[in-house]
Amino acid sequence: MLTKKQWEHCLEEMDRMFPNAHCELVHDNAFELTIATLLSAQCTDVLVNKVTKTLFQKYKTPEDYLAVPLEELQQDIRSIGLYRNKAKNIQALCQRLLDEYKGEIPATREALVTLPGVGRKTANVVLSVAFDIPALAVDTHVERVSKRLGLCRWKDSVLEVEETIMKKTPMDKWSKTHHQLIFFGRYHCKAQNPGCHACPLLRDCREGQKRLKKGLVKEA
């Protein structure tokens, strides 16, 4: 497992590589971010942004999403995976916002996870990005990178990964670390053909060292 000093080195290198890492879901407010993050489950941010470019012009408020038949909303997001279920969740979420929160996105994890279609990951994204509250969302990139590096164990659950990263990272860096891990996983340490041969983290990376020993990469 990575030592604290090794993890600090990894954070420094990722900060050098991706100093401007940020949420790539295009949005103007907490409500749009919540909808976009809900849509992003098992889907790329690129596709979500393509859909929301027109979606957010048509729907501005929870009332707007409830003013159309479910079938119409499904058609509006049809190019996104699981669109039927996501459309249903969006309308249910909007109804809950109107019934319980005066149409506004709540700013606590406890309240956010009660919204239809909103799990812990989405809640953490909204807290961090929309409300600037320290939180660390674990998506597929964050989980993959943290386990490859040996910061977390391969058998760890998503919640265990989140707790480990938060424990070993200063709270004021949680949000930044979340985005930089995503950028590192999305643009460098990819699921297929990770850039081990040119990786500044190779000396600390469990997976990279394993690949090196097997002759799959050259030492950086």
Residues forming the active site: 121, 139
d(CA 57, CA 78): 17
CB 127 within 8 A of CB 112: yes
Q: How far apart are the first and last CA of the chain?
A: 21
CB 112 within 8 A of CB 118: yes
d(CA 109, CA 90): 18
For residue 62, give both structure tokens. 């929870």
Any idea which residue has 């012009």 for tokens? 57
Helix (H, G, I), strand (E, B) or coil at 169: coil
CB 217 within 8 A of CB 197: yes
- Which of 102, 187, 174 shows the shortest CA–CA distance to 138? 174
Any idea which residue has 């889907």 for tokens? 43
